[in-house]
Structure 1
Amino acid sequence: MGTFETVWKQVNDTYYDSTFGGFNWENAHDRYMPLVTAAEKDEDFYRLVNRMLWELNVSHTNLIRPGNLARSEPLVCAEGSPGLDLRLLNGEAVITSVKPGSPAWEAGLRPGYVIQAVDEIPIEQILHEAELLMRPPYNYRACIGIFTKAILSRIYGTTGTEVLITYSEERGEKSDTILMRTKRSGAAVGPNGILYLAIDFEAKRLENGIGYIRLNTFQQPLAPMISGAIRSMGNVSGIILDLRGNAGGEIEEMPDLFLNERALLFLRRSINGETKMFFDPADNAYTGPLVLLIDQLSGSACELFAGSLQASGRAVVIGECSPGAVMESDMKIFPDGSILMYPVAQLATPDGTVLEGHGVVPDIEVSLEREMLLKGVDSQIDAAIRYLQKDGQNKPSQ
């Protein structure tokens, strides 16, 4: 009962809206307390506490069981990967990228192949189990994101362990392969100094003179990495910042790298009132044409970053609408290793648009297609290149 009371009180004392939007938070406590008291299994306790939290109908509310963070947030918290990424396309778990030289690459897996099962568990079963754990925001994009992470949480895992992948290739023929999970390319110490966060970072100059940078999170080591990558690219005609699958992090690390003047980028509304968040450009900030790629797994601070630069006219957004999981949150770590994630502020773009529950709508909507992936073409990157080669050259930097 101590954990239950602490969870309830933590939210009660720090929630951004003292009225809870008309929701009776005290009544929720009284309704769930006898249920939690009667819970005999840990899984029932966590299920009930989360059910109470999710009645708030906002993102970033979750009580995570000890040792389960990597399963809950595999995009950034799983330390090992066989070197592939995937998305749900028309109900199929389609491989969207394979890292050259990785176990997945050496086994012959390629973009466009469809994963049928993980460790002999059919994808359909994984999706059914994930459906029982849906949490806010309740929309199609967020659901697709949860489904995708449920699959990736079984593929990613502890470094040095193996995973059995059943897949079908271009002709539809099924095959099995055992892949080793290897350590991901980088790591950072996350909130509270004890959480493992994997950093996937890629930067290159494309043949057409366009810079390309991909990152899966916003954390402290990335700002100098991005700045250095931009310098090393030289005189590029534009930059594509690939934020697909970016789970967010610390937005303060990012905007100043792409501004050429002081700008209001977002509004922060907490229990203490509203604060206007201004950013100044960094030394040698990049101010040329900028395209941001987002999808249904671009969340939290990543959405705020994309939505703010879009609203200010600094960047063009291409891809798919993001889920709208855009609350500022904090964490409380319990002695047993449980982690409470709870919201402390509502965030809005400079024009007052609240992204929570709505997401960022791209300027140019483009979806991935399995047929194109099989041909080695990423339709979203391709659209970004076409934009920069055509329209981007005529658009002045802000």
Structure 2
Amino acid sequence: MHPFDFRRLIQPGRSTVPLLLVAAFLSGACRSPVASAAPGRSTASPMALPAACGPAAGTGTTSLASSPVADPLVTFDSAWSIIGRTHWDTTYNGVNWTALRAELRPRAAAATSTGELRAVLSEMVARLKQSHFSIIPREIADATGSSSGGAAAPDRSGSIGAELRYLDGTLVIAQLDRDGPAAQAGVRTGWRVQAVNGCPLSARLARMPQEPDPRREALTAYAIGTQALAGAVGDTATVLFTDERNAERTVRIVRAPEPGVVAKFGNLPAMTAQLAFERVKTAGKTVGIIRFNIWMPILSPQFDAAVDSLRDADAIILDIRGNFGGVGGMAMGIAGHFLDSTFTIGTMVQRGATLKFVANPRRVDTRSRGVSPYRGPLAIVVDELSISTTEIFAGGLQALGRAQVFGVQTSGQALPSVPERLPGGDILYHAIADFLNPAGKPLEGAGVTPDRVVPLTRAALLAGRDPALEAAMAWAVGPMTVK
């Protein structure tokens, strides 16, 4: 996925469709300019680093934190007021919002630099202790190279064809595109990524803000590693790995175009959307596996076609690990492929209003022929990087008893959110609603707990295994799953 271009999120007249989307880069590139070293984290590098290997290396922007700030109270009051009128909970998650303004406003008034004001604003939104609240620096939001003064953003359209996960304090290769550059260069799943172009990842991981929730830590680490490995198509990444024998290997990998289609929706940034499906024969049965990385409308026809191709399968598995969310309304249409009635898969709760997410059963296929929604066994595979709309969908079908969920607990970040430009130029990214599953249980914080918890391990990856998918497959073809 490309780094987010936040400027596309803030144009006048933005769509009112709720955006249940978590940008992974909010946890990486977008936090580093405003976050200081967290308690308990060493700020010392374990080795001498090249100048380009600082904690924010690769962002391609120059921080404006030291620049003078004009009218800080105008920006502070705007941010405070926006949250004050749009937060769905009039108790503000237990925070006295008026008292907080009185406490922080003098500090905002005393701010003489952009960085000082950002620190105050960041503290304000952090007091809510909820996801989807962040201050995005304008130099990151505007890093488009436009004539409006934004800095030129680095080209990150190239990929090595690998997915990372954070295991035991290190980043490992969790998945490879079979025909991608990394696989062709001899890289294998389970290898640890130690350094990229001479920059040790351990130094940047050590500087991560301390997180009490390991799921948040995994997201931040993923963003750091993914950012380090991304670059221009045709450029070479020199990557230092630790292989299955814990021996160091340096591999030169030429980045290729990221597979998929470039997707845009309203004011969401451009990103690469990917969907793939396959039929697998096992135990005398056929199982269809569908994978997609983001909830973008451009993938809807592809998903429809995938289901059409798999209608005769004995079971279907949806692998939505690492899916960061997207357009919330899509969950209703996708759910309609698997629900034969207008069941509610969840409810969005705003201040003074609610919106039920009702499944839209599919009665025709892509050729306009009459069909029924798929009735066979349905398994969903998730992990700690399954976020937002992904959690809404998985949690809804699980609560309705329509799907069995496998993997590990999801991120617990499921708040509909929007971005707004503040007078000072930075972006206030803020949630506008809560979301409840069909049983009335909030997904925020808890996320979705799988019916069968199957953690990922480096040992399994080194052996070429995928324990969560294997567990889902075993259930799907089991004796209790006859259509």
By the TM > 0.5 criterion, same fold? yes
CA distance in 2, matches of 1:31, 1:156: 42
Match of 1:225 among 281, 290, 302: 302
Question: CA 1:260–1:109 in structure 2 vs 1: closer, same or farther (change >3 Å)?
Answer: same
**What is the deviation of 1:326?**
1.0
Q: Structure 1 residues 337 and 239, CA, compared in 2 at 3 Å: closer, same or farther?
A: farther
* Structure 2 residue aligned with 1:50: 122
In structure 2, the residue corresponding to 1:241 is in which secondary structure? strand
Within a 5 Å distance, the mapping from 1:329-348 to structure 2 comes to 329-333=417-421, 338-348=426-436
Farther off after superposition, 118-127 or 5-14: 118-127
Q: Which residue of 2 aligns with 1:291?
A: 379
Q: Based on CA coordinates, which of the two structures has the bigger radius of gyration?
A: 2
* Amino acid paired to 1:129: R
Indicate the residue corresponding to 1:95 in structure 2. 173
Report the Cα distance in structure 2 between the residues aligned to 1:356 and 1:190, rounded to whole angstroms: 24
Q: Secondary structure at the match of 1:206?
A: strand
Q: Tell me the equivalent position of 2:31.
A: none
**Which letter does structure 2 place at the counterpart of 1:377?**
R
Partner-residue secondary structure (3-state), 1:31: helix
SS in 1 for 2:281: coil
TM-score with structure 2 length normalisation? 0.74
> In the aligned structure 1, how far is the partner of 2:389 from the partner of 2:463?
33
Residues 1:37 and 1:158: Cα distance change in structure 2 (over 3 Å): farther
- Kindly tell me: are residues 53 and 280 of structure 1, through their superposed partners in 2, closer, same or farther at Cα, counting changes over 3 Å? same
| Structure 2 residue matching 1:325: 3-state secondary structure | coil
- Matches of 2:158 and 2:142 in 1, distance apart? 10
C-alpha deviations, 1:169-198, integer Å up to 9, x for none?
1111112234344332222114425x1122
Give 2:462's aligned residue. Answer: 374
1:115 maps onto 2:193 in alignment: yes
Whole-angstrom distance in 2 between the partners of 1:44 and 1:180: 41
Q: CA deviation at 1:168?
A: 1.0
| Mapping of residues 234-273 of structure 1, within 5 Å | 234-253=311-330, 254-273=334-353
> Is 93-102 or 2-11 further displaced after alignment?
2-11
Closer, same or farther: CA 219–42 of 1 in aligned 2, 3 Å: same
Q: How many residues align?
A: 385
Letter of the 2:99 counterpart: N
- SS across alignment from 2:297: coil
Residues 311-322 of structure 1 correspond to what in structure 2 (within 5 A)? Answer: 311-322=399-410
* 1:149 equivalent in alignment to 2:218: no
Cα distance change of structure 1 residues 265 and 169 upon mapping to structure 2, 3 Å threshold = same
Match of 2:263 in 1: 188
What one-letter code is carried by the residue in structure 1 that aligns with 2:170? E
The one-letter code matched in structure 1 to 2:428 is L
For structure 2, list consecutive stretches of 5 or more residues without a partner in the other structure.
Answer: 1-71, 144-154, 364-370
Partners of 2:276 and 2:112 lie apart in 1 by 47
2:434 partner amino acid = Q
In 1, Cα distance between equivalents of 2:90 and 2:276: 42
Choose from 135, 147, 158 the match for 1:80. Answer: 158
8 Å contact from structure 1 (residues 187, 197) kept in 2: yes
Give the Cα–Cα distance (whole angstroms) in 2 for the partners of residues 179 and 153 of structure 1. 15
Name 1:74's counterpart in structure 2: none
Give 1:392 shift: 5.3
Alpha-carbon contact 1:330-1:341 (below 8 Å) kept: yes
Q: SS at 1:277's partner residue?
A: strand
Structure 1: how far apart are the matches of 2:480 and 2:158?
Answer: 38
User: Residues 217 and 248 of structure 1 are in contact (CA less than 8 Å); yes or no, is this contact kept in structure 2?
Assistant: yes
Q: Does 1:274 align with 2:382?
A: no
The CA deviation at 1:367 is 1.1
TM-aligned CA deviation for residue 248 of structure 1: 0.8
**Which residue number corresponds to residue 288 of structure 2?**
211
Find the aligned partners of 1:69 and 1:179 in 2 and give their Cα distance: 30
Q: Is the CA contact 1:248–1:302 (under 8 Å) kept in the aligned structure 2?
A: yes
- Code of the residue aligned with 1:64 in structure 2: it is I
**Are the counterparts in 1 of residues 78 and 422 from structure 2 also a CA contact under 8 Å?**
no
User: Counterpart in 2 of 1:307?
Assistant: 395
Residue matched to 2:207 = 129
Q: Does 1:10 align with 2:82?
A: yes
Which region of structure 1 is more displaced relative to structure 2, 273-282 or 358-367?
273-282
- Give, in angstroms, the shift of residue 274 of structure 1: 3.4
Which TM-score applies when normalising by structure 1? 0.89
Gap change, CA 1:333 and 1:201, over 3 Å in 2: farther
Deviation digits for residues 234-263 of structure 1 (CA, Å, limit 9, x no counterpart): 511111101111101123213222211110
2:233 and 2:121 mapped to 1: Cα distance? 31
Question: Is residue 238–residue 392 contact of structure 1 (8 Å, CA) maintained in 2?
Answer: no
Deviations 1:193-217 (A, max 9, x none): 5x11221222111233211111111
1:61 counterpart residue number:
133
Q: Which has the higher helix share?
A: 1
Q: Cα gap change, 1:392/1:25 in structure 2, threshold over 3 Å: closer, same or farther?
A: farther
2:16 aligns to what? none
Match of 1:23 in 2: 95
Structure 1: distance between partners of 2:142 and 2:165: 18
The 3-state SS of whatever aligns with 1:212 is strand
Cα gap change, 1:61 to 1:261, in 2 (>3 Å): same
Higher mean C-alpha displacement, 114-123 vs 48-57: 114-123
**Counterpart Cα distance in 2 of 1:272 and 1:78:** 42
For residue 249 of structure 1, give the secondary structure of its aligned residue in structure 2.
Answer: strand
Q: Which has the larger displacement, 325-334 or 60-69? A: 60-69
Q: 2: distance between equivalents of 1:24 and 1:213?
A: 45
Q: Percent identity?
A: 29
Residue equivalent to 1:352: 440
How many angstroms does 1:8 deviate by?
2.0
Would you say 1:140 and 2:214 are equivalent positions?
Answer: yes
Q: 2:239 aligns with which of 165, 184, 189?
A: 165
